[in-house]
Structure 1
Amino acid sequence: MVAALELYLDVDATRRVRTLWRALDSEGIPTLGSLHQKHRPHVSLAAARTIDPHLAAAALEGLVVGRGLTLRLDFAGQFVGRVLWLGVTMTPELMEHHRSVHERLSAGGVEVWEHYRPGLWVPHCTVSLRVPNPMMAPAIRRCLEILPLTATVTGAAIADHANDIAHPL
């Protein structure tokens, strides 16, 4: 199970990422769009095995989480384990917002995975969790076709799709 604090993208960026998902799915590359129909294109600010959405919301009370941030998706990347993603270029504004969110989560007793903490986080929009090895190069080429992509964050939520949690922030 995975829970995350997800930042949601504006309509145009969401449409473009969903178009990418459909193209890859049609080529036999499973994406978040076909995983279980619950995912929206997003960038996760924090993740853990579980996150109590009410505890997180209380920790973040009074902070506008993500809304209005401009994200520049400029490159494609791969994590070990066949995970494909669109990379978000780090800006001072994004770095400061991420730090602020994590300070509040930590102070509120919300534990997150270390690799999502400030200084270690690689901001990204996941495309696929399991690209077949022979398909990675064609999948990356397909991702590059939609880049660069500029997105405005329009909302945020604590999401845990395995447990049907989508708690807006």
Structure 2
Amino acid sequence: MVAALELYLDTDATRRLRALWKALEAEGIPTLASLQDSKHRPHVSLAAASQLSPSAVASALGDAPVGRDLVLDLDFVGQFVGRVLWLGVTPTEALLERHRAVHDRLAAGGVSVWDHYRPGLWVPHCTVSLRVPNPLMGAAVRRCLEILPLRATVTGASVTDHANDIAHPLPG
């Protein structure tokens, strides 16, 4: 089970990422589009954990800006161990400062997150697939490169846990 604090992207970036998901799915590469009854939408996660209480996160963040109006540049393709494919977000000063501020508030509010999402360890990314078949990885990377570079503006944020039907929008 995974819960996350997700940043959502503007309409054009979302449309382009969904088109990428569709193209990959047509080539036999599973994407977030086919997970959990298609509940996922393109996003960048600022924090993740086995569980996140939406009310605890909202309380910890208060009126602090989460992500709205941040501009994100997706400029490269990466992989995590386990055949996870993602588009990399260039770690700008503005993004890293916002990430640190969010984590400072979460920690002060007693909200625990996975270590690899903490400042200094986090790799800003937009997940494309959690399980690319090994023989198709090269084709998947090439397909991802076709839509890059991609500039996106953050338009909203939410605490999500799709396995438990949680999608709690956050202000700012």
TM-score higher than 0.5: yes
Take 2:4 and 2:45, find their aligned partners in 1: how far apart are those partners?
Answer: 6
Structure 2 partner of 1:90 = 91
Structure 2 partner of 1:107 = 108
* Secondary structure in structure 1 of the residue aligned to 2:22: helix
* Secondary structure in structure 2 of the residue aligned to 1:63: coil
Q: What does residue range 135-150 of structure 1 map to in structure 2 within 5 Å?
A: 135-150=136-151
Runs of 4+ aligned residues of structure 1 deviating over 3 Å after TM superposition are: none
Q: What's the RMSD between the two structures over aligned residues?
A: 0.4
Structure 1 partner of 2:3 = 3
Structure 2 partner of 1:25 = 25
Q: What does residue range 1-169 of structure 1 map to in structure 2 within 5 Å?
A: 1-36=1-36, 37-169=38-170
Q: 1:35 Cα shift?
A: 1.2
Take 1:79 and 1:115, find their aligned partners in 2: how far apart are those partners?
Answer: 12
Q: 1:64 Cα shift?
A: 1.9
Take 2:144 and 2:45, find their aligned partners in 1: how far apart are those partners?
Answer: 19
Q: Which runs of 5+ in 2 are unaligned?
A: none
Take 1:10 and 1:66, find their aligned partners in 2: how far apart are those partners?
Answer: 12
TM-score of the superposed pair, with normalisation by structure 2: 0.98
Residue identity in the other structure for 2:125: H
Residue identity in the other structure for 1:51: L
* Number of equivalenced pairs: 169
Q: Which runs of 5+ in 1 are unaligned?
A: none
TM-score of the superposed pair, with normalisation by structure 1: 0.99
